[in-house]
Amino acid sequence: MKFHTEYLVFHTPAHREYVHITQKVEAIVNKSGIKEGMVLVSAMHITAGVYVNDDESGLIEDIDQWLEELAPFNQDYRHHGTGETNGDSHLKALLIHHQVIVPITAGKLDFGPWQRIFYAEFDGQRDKRVIVKVMGE
């Protein structure tokens, strides 16, 4: 069994941002030489997520608005007693989930026609990392 691990670094200009990373993950899978297996793509922070969905700008705005409705910015989170102001960022990350597993078959991401991988930043404007770990043969 082979393992190949890389780390992506993000530093988004905006506080919240959705970054399409399918091509970066594909490049890492190609470099690994692994033909059968899977790749774990997992945020290394507790205010960021990774998800699979459509690369369509309207939908991405819909997702952002929906997350803000279900996990709104708010001054009053208990977490803010620590001096932080990002309680909502934690809740948004929990809702979208922080990781995906993408299957690899015949050396390719085994995706349906519209599946794309996104890094979802909920507390940006500083360095954040995502682990990409390819496992297989």
- In the complex, the residues that contact its own copies under the rule CB under 8 A are 1, 3, 5, 36-38, 40, 42-46, 51-54, 56-59, 61-63, 66, 70-71, 77-82, 87, 90-91, 93-101, 103, 105, 110-112, 114-115, 129, 131, 133, 135-137
To the nearest whole angstrom, how small is the minimum distance from the Cβ of residue 87 to its own copies?
5
Nearer to its own copies, 5 or 23 (CB): 5
Nearer to its own copies, 27 or 101 (CB): 101
To the nearest whole angstrom, how small is the minimum distance from the Cβ of residue 123 to its own copies?
11
Question: Cα separation of 77 and 87, whole Å?
Answer: 6
Question: Cα separation of 137 and 128, whole Å?
Answer: 29
Question: Cα separation of 60 and 80, whole Å?
Answer: 28
Amino acid at 73: F
Give which of 137, 135, 136, 129 is closest to 24, Cα–Cα: 129
Q: Which residues pair with 59 in a beta bridge?
A: none
Helix H or strand E segment including 69: helix 57-70
To the nearest whole angstrom, how small is the minimum distance from the Cβ of residue 100 to its own copies?
7
Q: 84 Cβ partners below 8 Å, 6+ apart? A: none
To the nearest whole angstrom, how small is the minimum distance from the Cβ of residue 117 to its own copies?
11
